[in-house]
Amino acid sequence: MKKFSRLGIFTLTTAITILLILPAAQAIDFKVSGQVNRAVLWGDNGNDDDVKFVDNDNSSTRFRFTGSNEFDNNWKVGFKWENEMESNSSADDSLDDGEGVIDIGSNDDTGDVSFSERHMDIYFQHSKFGKLSLGQGDTASNGTSEVDLSGTDVVNYSDIDDMNGGFFFRDDDNNVITSIGDAVNNFDGFGRRDRIRYDTPKFGPVYFSTSYMNGQSYDFAGRFAYQWEGFGKLAAAASWLPADTQRDTYRQYSGSISFLHSSGFNVTVSGADRYDTPGDDEPWNIYGKLGWKLTKWAFSVDYTYSEDVDQIDDEATSVGAAAVFNPWKSVELYGSYRWNDLDRDRDQRAAGVGNAESIHSVMVGTRVKF
């Protein structure tokens, strides 16, 4: 708890107190929910290996307060207040201290705790006019690279560095090259920000969104979801970030699509391209997954290729396999293996630094929702 801020403690205490003293009848109905997601993460970077006890950043530990009510038949007003609390995030924890020595310091003893807001959002929704959201929350483009119907996204999905992003690639002399988190990127949208967002009503299986954020940034997105009875379901999303603003100097296209057949077979594809000047060498990413989803089990294998992310001519590759078991409602047990590799051009490597060793990682854990 050494890094748990006083503000975080105050916020949580205040929220619980308010919920306890509120009268039973409210204009807005609310509920409390959340999850705890803990895992054991092993890694081997070709020089060192270690075991870490982490919070699985693929779907972090969090709690939330949500509420909504309908007014005058056509209007719905609601809110979402969600906070994240992680001890040793799997995306940040490393195998070493950056000097070639396995870190056996304080974060192995007690854990580095972070407390941060995810959503602090109010929305107004009308059946004919759509939905208007104001506050800290998802931008229109958030998640457009991450549509996934496989049932294994709790441990493996397109943002692969959530599993082991803090692990460093090293050469055979133990020189640091870069981290997995810096070498790969699924180039999803703007994430969660303070913004105003508008979602259109659904036109059949399709709706569109746009948002405007601090720093004069804005984005556009479209989403599709359809289910064929007895055949399967299809979901897709795409976004455009015409940024080039005070905060975001790049432009980006992102999209993903996932199909789940009624037999359980599923396939997912994600791709994105980020550019400053069209025609230049700019970073891009492609991700693919094949899976099989049963009543209580889900299995998948995936492949990722990122180019020019950390440096020009970098080629980062990753292959993963995952299994998720859902024995009871709101309880999941999972395991994942991931192989990461980086090919950096000789001219881009620092003097005396050789080729990167591959990194092997295994994560085993559980997510419990409430």
Angle (nearest 5°) at CA 115 between 110 and 117:
165
What pLDDT does residue 279 have?
A: 53
Q: What is the pLDDT of residue 165?
A: 96
Give the end-to-end CA distance of the chain in Å, rounded to a whole number.
Answer: 22
Mean per-residue pLDDT pooled into runs of 10, the chain (370 residues): 48 54 58 97 95 96 95 90 95 69 42 85 95 98 98 98 96 94 96 96 97 92 97 98 73 96 98 76 93 98 96 95 97 98 86 90 98
Give the pLDDT score at 12: 54
pLDDT at 111: 60
Q: What is the pLDDT of residue 52?
A: 95
User: What is the reported pLDDT for 280?
Assistant: 60
pLDDT at position 20, please? 52
**Ramachandran region of residue 33, left (φ > 0), alpha (ψ -120 to 50) or beta?**
beta
Q: How far apart are CA 340 and CA 156, in angstroms?
A: 13
Give me the residue spans of the domains in the chain. Answer: 6-369
Sign of the alpha-carbon dihedral angle for 309, 310, 312, 313: negative
Can you tell me the distance from the alpha carbon of 53 to that of 41, in angstroms, rounded to the nearest whole number? 6
Q: What is the pLDDT of residue 27?
A: 62
Radius of gyration of the chain from Cα atoms? 22
State which fold the 6-369 domain adopts.
Porin (2.40.160)
Q: Report the predicted TM-score, pTM, of the whole model to 2 decimal places.
A: 0.87
Q: Parallel, antiparallel, or unpaired for β 217-228 and 284-293?
A: unpaired
